[in-house]
A and B are shown apart, each in its own frame.
Chain A
Amino acid sequence: MTARIGVVTFPGSLDDRDTQRAIRVAGAEPVALWHKDKDLKQVDAVVLCGGFSYGDYLRAGAIARFSPVMEPLLEQAKAGLPVLGICNGFQILTEAHLLPGTMLRNDHLHFICRDQKLRVENAETAWTTDYSAGQEIHIPLKNNDGQYVADAYTLDKLEAEGRVAFRYLDFNPNGSQRDIAGVTNEAGNVVGLMPHPEHAVEPLIGTGRTDGLPFFTSILKKLVNA
């Protein structure tokens, strides 16, 4: 058997087809979800992909957070459904308060696209077990609003609880506090990050590395073994 992983398309989502491909490359079955869907079609996990949902108008992720599909998603995520938010998906998860903190415009005020070095800080979430803690990986990053911020109390708490999942290494591309590239919720089923693992799953494409594939193999193993 394999796992069915949903990918939500909002108006303005861009990496939905790429994310579906990454899920396929890992050996799982991608299921297209539409933002107006009122149920999640019994998927085993959901990815909120990158893009500019609703044109990033108002604030990145702020409108998508109120889409019909978010209702069942919020409910099931709180009950343990694995959810991964990539870039715009991460922004939506913070807007929906499934993950703490928020994203501001990059400190240098430019869109930035680069091959970014990261350190895996937590290899025990639903999406990171195929990494090892402390592993250094390269994942493409591309965003305009990627500066992760939270109050000091929240940041201290995240660090104390091991909930910083990824940190930027060598170069902080957007001014994120404490070099935070991604975080997880307490239960470890909801993970959000700014870099794009779905763009690093095939050796020929993009930067030529496959460092993003373990996201998708991690969840597949977890779901198949469950």
Chain B
Amino acid sequence: MSRTPLDTVEHAAATPDVELPWAELGLKKDEYERVVEILGRRPTGAELAMYSVMWSEHCSYKSSKVHLRQFGEKAPESDAMLVGIGENAGVVDVGQGYAVTFKVESHNHPSYVEPYQGAATGVGGIVRDIIAMGARPVAVVDPLRFGAADHPDTKRVLPGVVAGIGGYGNCLGLPNIGGEVVFDACYQGNPLVNAGAIGVMRHEDIHLAKASGAGNKVILYGARTGGDGIGGASILASETFDDAKPSKRPAVQVGDPFQEKLLIECTLEAFREKLVVGIQDLGAAGLSCATSELASNGSGGMRVTLDDVPLRDSTLSPEEILMSESQERMCAVVEPEKVDRFLEICEKWDVIATVIGEVTDGDRLEIYWHGGKIVDVDPRTVAHEGPVYERPYARPSWQDELQADDANKLPRPATSEELKDQVLKLVGSPNQASKSWITSQYDHFVQGNTVLAQPEDSGMIRIDEETGLGVAIATDGNGRYAKLDPYHGAQLALAEAYRNVATTGAKPLAVSDCLNFGSPEDPAVMWQFAEAVRGLADACQQLGTPVTGGNVSLYNQTGEAAIHPTPVVAVLGVIDDVARRTPVAFQEEGQLLYLLGDTREEFGGSAWSQVVHDHLGGLPPQVDLERERLLAEILISASRDGMIDSAHDLSDGGLIQAVVESALLGGKGARLIVPDGLDAFTFLFSESAGRAVVAVPRSEEVRFNDMCGARGLPVTRIGVVDGDTVDVQGEFALSLSELRETHEGTIPALLK
């Protein structure tokens, strides 16, 4: 085997004319020139590896940054915010000395290539972000989007993704309490696998990703570093070595949840003993990211000896070690006198831990390999000063035509029989059908604090056994609405998640988002993105729920065909006593059903227009954020004061979908009366926002009506919980058994 000389900093300076494969590593010419300008020489292979991964779209947010700034600029005043955007995850004060951290991220592309491992490592990555803040992870949620339900490839992707999420999350001991599953042909070839996690800690336990204090040790712990997850680094490697090693390494990482479980316990034990100054997980861009971020967020520099990194494959080149995305690894900064204790805890949990470097009093990140210095950079230029693009954007030419194609003009059912058939078609359609075939593959019970889990409107976890303090989380995002109008579509996603949290009785506090879009190089997609961000930032400001962090996933497209713009919004809420939570299921016969909010003829982007007419056009439902806020206040008060026994938000599928779900979950039917001023079709299928259905015990009827009246919230009595049918008087009645068969049979039939 022949070997070129080690590409040290010295060697790079002496050989300015060596051509490096910057283009193959994904850098643009001007980006490479900027690296040369920053360094005052050509980069070494190792430096190029670091800049190329850290300046990638995924790590640098170079296309989205200029827009994302609005989340900070328009952030509402909030006493709840303890740590904001920029850290591994945001942290929110939930009272009684507790802090909660939560975040949603994407693992879209890997999950299409290798569904099981892609989805599994998505869970692993978000959970490490939560641990890195100092918190014990307490729950996960998974918003998912797949291609058409009956497409053959969906049968390959979906079961793998679900098994991967379950296989990893179940083995970590994290209850899966929420999320969504949506099918649409636009996600064919670009499924969206978003993963969210929540963690809980005491205020004083918050940890940050920074390396401070010269002489402090940098400890890499967890799994050994292997060749998995290396995208472009093998190109560099093949420049350095000849073909004595495998040329193509897998670009999708492989997860080991058992290792991650040990990592969680071991990290939490080190936190408890206050051994950690700063901490960072190794996710995208691996060691390149961890070292440059820790160093640039701290007060000093950092020196790392790459030879000390424990390897799974001894033939790895330094470039590959720096870029490897091997899972289940973390990096901690520890004071020298505490290193022994830290290593002891790792040993207790059988976790490999190695001191790989130390914090210096300089301001450079220096990395050594075989005695030579192969990296000497200002870490800020790697981690934070990447390129920023003002990508051109323009409202697409087809937008007007799409909006003019009014769904309200579609033919409506002419007879009661037709109306009934369409109800059955809707509740049995893949998007509206029960997802229990999927969610039963996730553990909901582990940790013994799950108060609510899907299919409830939000997942809810108790965080204090004595006081009953709990948190709720809901994720929502309707790509069809966002396609029709990205600004309002993003606001509707927030409004729905906000409403879902309030429906269960929790007060919405803060937001995390996962923004899934097509290629930023397409001005039409960039316009969708810019509009969605603007809409979301405006709405967060108005609702008083700051964005605490999130993730952007671009390039979700195949050829010219981009996915629907899909901003997925997670809202976190707090409830003082989980005993006051409100479930979806009808509880008792005889209770009165009330519809809260206004119902308009709004069918643009609706489930009805999709299921019955395969149509997408017109405008999404109107957004009225003040109404959402009022509705939330009413739902929370009613829940706290025991005025309602069940509640369900109205969203896709409209009122009939909500009533059928509450009836099936409670095993009790409903008699519905079409209110004056509405036709049966609009009453059942409209998707007007800002609405919920609640079941009120007769003893609370007067008090509940008085409260709504005094606060100015429209309230309409629409029926009663009763019998074993869903009976829309004067129109049709459907038995619970027929509804159940239709609602629960669809997904198993498609996927078995």
Interface centre among B166, B443, B445, B462 (most CB of A within 10 A): B445
Stretch at the interface among B216-224, B446-454, B612-620, B679-687: B446-454
**A72 within 8 Å of B (CB atoms):** no
User: Distance (Å) between the CB of A69 and the closest chain B CB?
Assistant: 14
**B310 within 8 Å of A (CB atoms):** no
A198 contact set on B, CB distance < 8 A = 448
- Interface residues of B, count at CB 8 A: 32
A14 contact set on B, CB distance < 8 A = 171-173, 261, 446
Stretch at the interface among A95-103, A107-115, A119-127: A107-115
A55 touches B258 (CB 8 A): yes
Task: Give CA–CA (A55, B259) in the complex, Å.
Answer: 8
Contact with A along B559-598 (1 / 0, CB 8 A): 0000000000000000000110000000000000000000
Check A205/B451 contact, CB under 8 A, given A14-B173, A14-B446. yes
**B442 within 8 Å of A (CB atoms):** yes
Check A142/B445 contact, CB under 8 A, given A12-B261, A54-B258, A206-B450. yes
Task: Give CA–CA (A55, B449) in the complex, Å.
Answer: 23
**A21 within 8 Å of B (CB atoms):** yes
User: Distance (Å) between the CB of B115 and the closest chain A CB?
Assistant: 15
B447 touches A111 (CB 8 A): no
B446 touches A205 (CB 8 A): no
A196 touches B441 (CB 8 A): no
Task: Give CA–CA (A33, B579) in the complex, Å.
Answer: 32
B446 touches A110 (CB 8 A): no
A142 touches B443 (CB 8 A): yes
B441 touches A110 (CB 8 A): yes
A140 contact set on B, CB distance < 8 A = 445
A-B contact count, CB below 8 Å? 89
A199 touches B170 (CB 8 A): no
**A18 within 8 Å of B (CB atoms):** yes
Contact with A along B157-195 (1 / 0, CB 8 A): 000000100110011110000000000000000000000
Task: Give CA–CA (A113, B439) in the complex, Å.
Answer: 8
B578 contact set on A, CB distance < 8 A = 204
B440 contact set on A, CB distance < 8 A = 110, 112-114
Check A17/B163 contact, CB under 8 A, given A55-B171, A57-B258, A204-B579. no
A111 touches B167 (CB 8 A): yes
Check A55/B256 contact, CB under 8 A, given A142-B170, A205-B462. yes
A11 touches B446 (CB 8 A): no
B450 contact set on A, CB distance < 8 A = 205-206
Task: Give CA–CA (A189, B349) in the complex, Å.
Answer: 31
A196 contact set on B, CB distance < 8 A = 445
Check A113/B445 contact, CB under 8 A, given A52-B171, A205-B462. yes
**A15 within 8 Å of B (CB atoms):** yes
Task: Give CA–CA (A196, B642) in the complex, Å.
Answer: 31
Task: Give CA–CA (A199, B448) in the complex, Å.
Answer: 6
A206 touches B173 (CB 8 A): no
> Nearest chain-A residue to B256 (Cβ)?
A55
B258 touches A18 (CB 8 A): no
User: Distance (Å) between the CB of A107 and the closest chain B CB?
Assistant: 13
**A192 within 8 Å of B (CB atoms):** no
A11 touches B445 (CB 8 A): no
Interface centre among A50, A57, A113 (most CB of B within 10 A): A113
User: Distance (Å) between the CB of B364 and the closest chain A CB?
Assistant: 39
User: Distance (Å) between the CB of B175 and the closest chain A CB?
Assistant: 9
**A51 within 8 Å of B (CB atoms):** yes
Contact with B along A183-206 (1 / 0, CB 8 A): 000000000000010110010111
Task: Give CA–CA (A206, B448) in the complex, Å.
Answer: 7
**B345 within 8 Å of A (CB atoms):** no
**B343 within 8 Å of A (CB atoms):** no
> Nearest chain-A residue to B159 (Cβ)?
A110
User: Distance (Å) between the CB of B200 and the closest chain A CB?
Assistant: 13
**B466 within 8 Å of A (CB atoms):** no
Task: Give CA–CA (A111, B170) in the complex, Å.
Answer: 9
CB contacts under 8 Å to A, within B425-482, are 439-451, 462, 465
Task: Give CA–CA (A14, B138) in the complex, Å.
Answer: 12
Task: Give CA–CA (A107, B683) in the complex, Å.
Answer: 45
Check A112/B441 contact, CB under 8 A, given A142-B446, A205-B451. yes
Task: Give CA–CA (A52, B171) in the complex, Å.
Answer: 6
> Nearest chain-B residue to A202 (Cβ)?
B448
B451 touches A204 (CB 8 A): yes
CB contacts under 8 Å to B, within A142-174, are 142, 144
User: Distance (Å) between the CB of A3 and the closest chain B CB?
Assistant: 20
Task: Give CA–CA (A16, B174) in the complex, Å.
Answer: 13
B258 touches A11 (CB 8 A): yes
A21 contact set on B, CB distance < 8 A = 448, 465
Task: Give CA–CA (A51, B350) in the complex, Å.
Answer: 17
**B546 within 8 Å of A (CB atoms):** no
Check A113/B173 contact, CB under 8 A, given A11-B350, A204-B578. no
Task: Give CA–CA (A112, B748) in the complex, Å.
Answer: 14
A17 touches B447 (CB 8 A): yes
B261 touches A113 (CB 8 A): no
B520 contact set on A, CB distance < 8 A = none
B258 touches A113 (CB 8 A): no
CB contacts under 8 Å to B, within A1-46, are 11-12, 14-15, 17-18, 21-22
User: Distance (Å) between the CB of A27 and the closest chain B CB?
Assistant: 15
B462 touches A113 (CB 8 A): no
**B549 within 8 Å of A (CB atoms):** no
Q: Which of A56, A111, A204 contacts B441 (CB 8 A)?
A: A111
The 6 A-B residue pairs with the shortest CB-CB distance in the complex, in nearest-first order: A55-B258, A14-B173, A18-B448, A199-B445, A52-B171, A140-B445
What are 30 inter-chain pairs, A to B, with CB distance below 8 A? A11-B261, A11-B350, A14-B261, A14-B446, A15-B448, A17-B448, A18-B447, A21-B448, A22-B448, A52-B170, A52-B257, A55-B171, A55-B256, A55-B258, A55-B261, A56-B258, A110-B163, A110-B440, A111-B170, A111-B443, A113-B442, A142-B170, A142-B443, A196-B445, A199-B446, A199-B448, A204-B579, A205-B449, A206-B445, A206-B448
